[in-house]
Structure 1
Amino acid sequence: MTIKAPRYSDTSVTISDVVSYLEQKVQLQGQSSVATSGIIVGDIDHVVTGILISLDITEKVLDEAIEKGCNFIIVNQPVFTEPLAQIIPETYAGRCVIKAIKHGLTIYVLSTNLDHFGRGTSHRMASFIELQETHPIIPHKVMLHRLTTFVPPHAEKHLIQSLCQVGAVLATQNLTGVAANLHCATGSGSLSHVSSTAKVEFSQESQLAFIVPMPCKEKIIQTLLHAHPYEKVTYYLEQVEVVVNHIGSGVVGSLPIELPEKYFLKYIKTKLTLSHLQHTNYFDRPIKKVAIYAGNGGWLLKEVLHKKIDAFITTGLQYEQFLEANGKTLLIDVGYDATRLGLKKLILALLSKEFNNIVILRCKTITNPVHHIND
């Protein structure tokens, strides 16, 4: 029996390795001018002693990381959303930053809810309420380059192999599939992208076209110039925008059957085990088409209204947004705690596939500061 060796050894996994893997898998989003995702405290060159996955950063979470020997904390909610004029112990954010620096902790904010990975908490909530025929509220757009060059027939195979080994993909008509799975390759495994049925017209030269991921562009161009048999290489590089329809922000789908608004609200409270929710007035229309965004979804409201979606489940909404949606869609704010259901487990599963020999833990500290009185 062959046992697959782990990609990283215990002594070689740095925080930078983990960050690179996460950002390759998940598109980070920042809705404000302040950096609310990525590394906010710490040194990415440190070797990982353990990873703690939390929803929020509090002093008790930092204490748990220290106690369990984890020097890297991946968190969902930013420690601060406004620039810090001072880092002082009189403020919550200041105390957390000071403690993290003092104990050599690195904090990474993964503010996305993994929707762009196609397995986020929006998808989890959609599964709980049994949405069918799901697709993103806003599909993901990928910027790629198309590289065209000319090569004598005898050097064609060598050039294709050389470029594919550093991340290029021999161009096909199905750019969407390429965009959805594309990443910089470093080994011969990337040759599986080369179509054995690709047809190239031969004359004195063959014309070859490749799809080039943005992060790999410079390396691919350098390889082209080195591997091409001509001293002066002719090539053309153009940008291509590709819409990947099956991944993106949020989820839209249809209920198995239409439900009156009153029963729909009871239905989602039961399915999502909610103690409370906020919503707009009823507008006497059955609910069939439902959108979900597991995060602050106010920025998606105009898109939801434009698509005439019957109900929109999200959180972090402002009073003015309830006014805007009233009578147009059933707008439902279920609270941050509900929209982060299972998030730590999802991040753990994502990391464990790649880093199977380092300590990765879900935080045990309860961080939700919001409580409600239930009659």
Structure 2
Amino acid sequence: MELIGKSIMEIEDMAYSNLIPISEVVHYLEQTIRLCSHHDLYQSGLVVGNMQNIVTGILICLDITEELLDEAIEKNCNFIIANQPLLIDPLHKITPETYAGKCVIKAIRHDLAIYIFGTNLDYLGSGASHRIAKFLELQDTWPIICEKQILYKLTTFVPFQAKKDLIATLSGEGALLNNENVMDHLSDALVKGGSESELFTNWNTRLSLEKVEEIQLTFTFPVVYKEKVIQALLRAHPYRKVSYYLEPIETIVENRGSGVIGTLPVELPAKYFLKYVRTKLNLVNFQFANTHHTNISEKPIKVIAIYAGNGSQLLNNALDKQVDVFITTGLRYEQFLEASGRLLMIDIGYYAVRLGIKKLILALLSKEFNNIVILRCKTITNPIHYIND
């Protein structure tokens, strides 16, 4: 970089311009994705640390452990993004006698910030559920539950000659033009830049009504754009008093949502499908629901539902979709009983179901913050081990 001829103050300004506070990274995450769907069990957000600290490095992990914090300290990463909540239960005291207490004390002592990223990124169309579906080579995928998005419908009226500029202005703020209708309309609005004498015959007379040709314009836009779209409307509209109507509408996003349903390239008997899952996902162990009503080994498997998270709340949705298999984690014993004879349920474990999350978060952040060190942790945080005979 060429620094000759620049003052010390200018050089310092250049250096600080590259410094990014934790709050900026958090804002990007929360604006880019849906952190809390109604299927998430835990809230996302900063649980330890100061939002205003400057990021020295980001370490992405699944769980918080003391060994993980040691890795963050060693790699000079003061911002940790974890998928599993650290504080599941309220802390009545912070002492080293508890797992959470030890981690909180250590994080505060070393000025580390911990952010819980409680999502599997399915709503982006490329989440952890999609990763498992890709490993299993599923075809023709669609969500278990399609995303419902709330939009605003904006209707306003504008003189014909001002139509083009207003459409361009609102489109630039994220509003999508739906339709336009030409109509004759009695207008009593003052025109910006005009004098009141143009509309009043004299001070004591009533406001004159002028018959003008207006265009009814209808736009839709996401809820988060409401303020800037309305401000742009008031700024760009030629009338001083702008008439408009706002209506919230709910729409279904067909290709985005929670979980994935897909079909196998070739139908398999259940006994071969179980081996197929174990091999493709490189699993050490997993649980599945046997049934007393059918011969599980010969049950034909073709349509698969996957949810890379706690799928206990989505079981009924999977049953309603009439799939052959539901692959997830967090299923309860009574749910295995409930689904007996209706579908094959496979619980692959909470750690295995999230293995792609670190890579997905890394890819998401790298698009925006290419001047920050962003690493996936090397520490194995899975607390569950299996004994194989």
Identity of aligned residues (%): 60
Q: Is the 8 A contact 1:149 1:208 kept in 2?
A: yes
Q: Is the 8 A contact 1:169 1:211 kept in 2?
A: yes
By how many angstroms is 1:296 displaced?
1.0
| Number of the residue aligned with 2:34 | 27
After TM superposition, the structure 1 = structure 2 runs for residues 1-375 of structure 1, keeping only pairs within 5 Å, are: 11-29=18-36, 35-171=42-178, 201=182, 204-282=213-291, 283-284=294-295, 285-375=299-389
By how many angstroms is 1:91 displaced?
1.4
Cα-to-partner distance string for 1:264-317 (whole Å, 9 max, x where unaligned): 111111111111111111434311111011111111001111122110011111
Cα-to-partner distance string for 1:297-352 (whole Å, 9 max, x where unaligned): 11100111112211001111111111111111101001122212222112111111
Secondary structure, in 3 states, of the residue corresponding to 2:303?
Answer: strand
- Partner Cα separation in structure 2 for residue 98 and residue 206 of structure 1: 63
Q: 1:216 to 1:210 in 2, by over 3 A?
A: same
- Partner Cα separation in structure 1 for residue 166 and residue 263 of structure 2: 48
Q: Is the 8 A contact 1:36 1:81 kept in 2?
A: no
Q: Is the 8 A contact 2:58 2:81 kept in 1?
A: yes
- Partner Cα separation in structure 1 for residue 178 and residue 267 of structure 2: 44
- Partner Cα separation in structure 2 for residue 158 and residue 47 of structure 1: 42
**TM-score, normalisation: structure 1:** 0.86
1:311 is matched by which residue type in structure 2? V
2:361 is matched by which residue type in structure 1? I
- Partner Cα separation in structure 1 for residue 32 and residue 370 of structure 2: 17
2:92 is matched by which residue type in structure 1? A
- Partner Cα separation in structure 1 for residue 337 and residue 232 of structure 2: 56
Displaced runs of 4 or more, over 6 A: none
- Partner Cα separation in structure 1 for residue 79 and residue 169 of structure 2: 37
- Partner Cα separation in structure 2 for residue 33 and residue 83 of structure 1: 18
Higher Cα Rg, which structure: 2
Secondary structure, in 3 states, of the residue corresponding to 1:141?
Answer: strand
Unaligned runs of 5+ in 2: 1-14, 185-212
Q: Is the 8 A contact 2:42 2:118 kept in 1?
A: no
By how many angstroms is 1:85 displaced?
2.5
2:116 is matched by which residue type in structure 1? V
Q: Is the 8 A contact 1:26 1:116 kept in 2?
A: yes
Q: 1:137 to 1:9 in 2, by over 3 A?
A: farther
Q: Is the 8 A contact 1:30 1:37 kept in 2?
A: no
Q: 1:296 to 1:34 in 2, by over 3 A?
A: closer
Total equivalences in the alignment: 342
- Partner Cα separation in structure 2 for residue 317 and residue 85 of structure 1: 29
- Partner Cα separation in structure 2 for residue 211 and residue 351 of structure 1: 29
Q: For the aligned residues, what is the CA RMSD?
A: 2.1
By how many angstroms is 1:13 displaced?
2.4
Q: 1:317 to 1:304 in 2, by over 3 A?
A: same
By how many angstroms is 1:46 displaced?
2.4
- Partner Cα separation in structure 2 for residue 218 and residue 338 of structure 1: 42
Secondary structure, in 3 states, of the residue corresponding to 1:312?
Answer: strand
Q: 1:273 to 1:9 in 2, by over 3 A?
A: farther
| Number of the residue aligned with 1:191 | none
Unaligned runs of 5+ in 1: 1-7, 173-198
Cα-to-partner distance string for 1:89-125 (whole Å, 9 max, x where unaligned): 2211122222222322221111211111111121111
- Partner Cα separation in structure 2 for residue 295 and residue 347 of structure 1: 16
Q: Is the 8 A contact 2:48 2:112 kept in 1?
A: yes
